Homo-oligomer: A and B are copies of this chain.
Amino acid sequence: MCEANAYLRKEGEPDELFLEMVDRVVPCEDGLLLEDIFGKRKIIKAKIVELALVDHKIILERM
């Protein structure tokens, strides 16, 4: 499976895991909608700062 883990990046801190096994990411009114491979959804007011797919990483930053 080619899902990725989503992490929150904060200046000067280690990246914090936000959601594992993310399949879909869709921008929405309130920021980003993330959906994992089981259909669990989380919305976060954040932007994508990096995708590193081979490393299975989505890096987000709160807005």
* Shortest Cβ gap from A48 to chain B (Å): 6
* A42 interface contact, C-beta 8 A: no
Check A26 for interface membership: any CB of B closer than 8 A.
yes
The 8 A CB mask of A17-28 against B (1 = contact, 0 = none) is 000001111110
Most buried by B among A27, A53, A56: A53
Q: How many of A's residues come within 8 Å of B, CB to CB?
A: 21
Bound form: Cα–Cα A52–B56 in Å: 13
- A48 in complex: contacting residue of B3, B27, B52, B54, CB < 8 Å: B27
A8 part of interface (Cβ distance < 8 Å): no
Closest partner residue, chain B, to A52 (CB atom):
B24
